A and B are shown apart, each in its own frame.
Chain A
Amino acid sequence: MPYQESLVAPMRAEMTEMGAAELRTVADVDAAIGSATGTTLVFVNSVCGCAAGNARPAVKMALGHSALPDRTVTVFAGQDVDAVARARSYLGEYQPSSPSIALLRDGEVVHFVHRHQIEGRSPQAIAADLTKAFDTYCSNSVGA
């Protein structure tokens, strides 16, 4: 059962304020991910304070890096159920968990951060994983 929207609104805002496009419908997801070329960071948001409370700041830190994905999008697990299911359909063999973070290049998952890789870790450590992946897979450099 979804949480009250007023409760999750700040968590949505935390993502959109850092530049992530929020995808709330299947059509949104298909438009953003379905035929996207280049690199796309997909953040599966969650109300879970244990893990998402560190994941969102980690993404924000990572988006301050020099190499960046072409676009960053977010879906909210447990809230926008259809959109999340559609987003997960683009993630191949990777199993659902939330929060989680996928980096896609030309529609293929090239890096995945599972919930178990977020739990108990600092935002800095999670961000370091992400920026390493950005360096490897993303050619979109700030100021380039």
Chain B
Amino acid sequence: MSGHVFHPGHHDLHGITVVLETDVELWVGRFDSVTPKGVLLHDAGCYEDGVTEGTREEYLRKTLKFGVRATTKNKLIPEDAVRGMRQLAEIAGHD
């Protein structure tokens, strides 16, 4: 049973927790897919510039320690708004 995947044919990042940046927001959530309407994340939390307390870096540090404080079950972010996307684990520096 170990290693069994229920969703074959998925995107390489499917199921991976990613950090997705736009000009005004930073989203952390579980990548699902790229749909015609945008990038779909599940169980996503958001840092909003000028609204959320602290900096983007502080938000990420807290997320790395305590996990994703999800505020949205499903979040679609238009592809043309995406400025960058990377795995949260890359930030943590795991092997």
Contact = CB atoms under 8 A, between A and B. Distances in A.
Interface of A: 10-11, 14, 47-51, 53-54, 56-57, 93-97, 100, 112, 114-117, 119-121, 123, 125
A56 B94 CA distance: 19
Interface residues of B, number: 25
B51 interface: no
Contacts of A10: 1
B67 A53 contact: no
15 contacts: A48-B15, A49-B3, A50-B15, A53-B4, A93-B66, A94-B67, A95-B70, A96-B67, A112-B66, A114-B67, A114-B68, A115-B67, A119-B15, A120-B16, A123-B2
Contact of A50 (B5, B43, B68): B5
B73 to A, nearest CB: 12
